[in-house]
Amino acid sequence: MKLNLKSLTELEQFAQKFAHALKKGSCVTLHGELGTGKTTFIALVGKYLNVTEYITSPTFTLVNKYQGKMEIYHLDLYRINSETDLYNMDIEYYFRKKNALVFVEWAEKLESFYPQEYLKIEIEFGENNTRIFQITAQGPKYEDFIQRLNTVDN
């Protein structure tokens, strides 16, 4: 699915809907240039999953963990330089979590470490400071998610 989000308000409305359609055990990857709003989106989804802590990018730690309606892991791979780094941080540990929700920022760095199934969100700059979200299911589980997203009521 493709969306054009014209403001932070529209982004927040979508984040709310997205949060309500999500189930634990999901993995969401975020792709897009610096400043497209990957962290902002994760923070807003977290807000609607009842995270009270301030969600910010885990730049130095690589991973932040939050407790909301479910356990949330926010991985930021910006500083990852090689697959050895991914191996050393035991990235697959997070993908095995059945009761958590995992967000991966700068997911293009995953290379051979991509999980079997995931929801892919690509963000681009549109005209007049808007954002274009392209959301694709990688695997049947996330095709169901996109269906739910299209039908969910806030």
Q: What does the binding site for Mg ion look like in residue numbers (CB under 5 A)?
A: 38-39, 57
Residue nearest to ligand ATP (CB): 37
16 CB burial (10 A radius; 0-12, 13-18, 19+):
middle
Using rule CB under 6 A, residue 45 touches ligand ATP: no
36 forms part of the interface with ligand ATP (CB under 6 A) = yes
Q: Residue 85 or residue 143: which is nearer to ligand ATP going by CB?
A: 85
Does position 32 interact with ligand ATP (CB under 6 A)? The reply is yes
Q: What is the rounded CA–CA span in Å between residue 115 and residue 97?
A: 11
Count of residues making up the chain: 154
Neighbour-count burial of 46, counting CB atoms closer than 10 A to its CB (0-12 exposed, 13-18 middle, 19+ buried)? buried
Single-letter amino acid, residue 23: K
126 counts as binding ligand ATP under rule CB under 6 A: no
Segment 47-66, which members bind ligand ATP (CB under 6 A)? 57
Instruction: Please answer whether residues 10 and 130 qualify as being in contact, where contact means their C-beta atoms are separated by less than 8 angstroms.
Output: no
Q: In the complex with ligand ATP, which residue's Cβ is closer, 13 or 117?
A: 13
Taking CB under 6 A as the criterion, the residue among 2, 34, 99, 116 binding ligand ATP is 34
Residues 64, 131, 135, 149: which binds ligand ATP (CB under 6 A)?
Answer: 131
Please choose, out of 20-28, 36-44, 86-94, 111-119, the segment that lies near ligand ATP by the rule CB under 6 A: 36-44
By the rule CB under 6 A, 13 interacts with ligand ATP: no
Residue 143 CB contacts under 8 Å (≥ 6 apart), including other chains: 137
Nearest partner of 22 among 136, 151, 148, 139, judged by Cα: 148
Binding site for ligand ATP (CB under 6 A): 5, 7-8, 11, 32, 34-40, 57, 105, 129, 131
